[in-house]
Amino acid sequence: QVQLVESGGGLVQPGGSPRLSCAASGSIFSIATMGWYRQAPGKQREVVATLTSGGSTNYADYVKGRFAISSDNAKNTVYLQMNSLKPEDTAVYYCYAYVRPRAGSNFYAYWGLGTQVTVSS
């Protein structure tokens, strides 16, 4: 089994710059992709940013130029640096990983429990 644990959320003032972290642990042979999604109240979960093992990144239009995704592969950890936060960025942020648990197995998607980010003065 694979566990993803997020940290770094909380109450942030508009314009703030928190950093989220997500550490993957458990049965991990390789990770193809890690990323962040978010879900605001009453809305569907949406992608924020993804990062492949090859270093390719993808960002949602609404965070381009403000958020940056990075990773520490040795620690199976992905980060989301959020800058210039707006009230509309308020959401639960979920970590995602596409993991091959064992050599020769398929890849499977795993999710963290989420961390709340509230942008308010």
Q: Give tens-digit pLDDT for 29-65.
A: 999 999 999 999 999 999 999 999 999 999 999 999 9
% residues pLDDT > 70 (the chain): 100
Q: Are 13 and 121 in contact (CB under 8 A)?
A: yes
Q: Are 112 and 6 in contact (CB under 8 A)?
A: yes
**DSSP alpha helices (H): ranges in the chain?**
none
Q: What is the pLDDT of residue 118?
A: 98
Strands 115-119 and 10-12: parallel
Q: What is the pLDDT of residue 57?
A: 98
- Report the pLDDT averaged over residues 77-100: 97
Distance CA 22, CA 34 (A): 9
Sign of the C-alpha dihedral, residues 45, 48, 50, 56?
A: positive
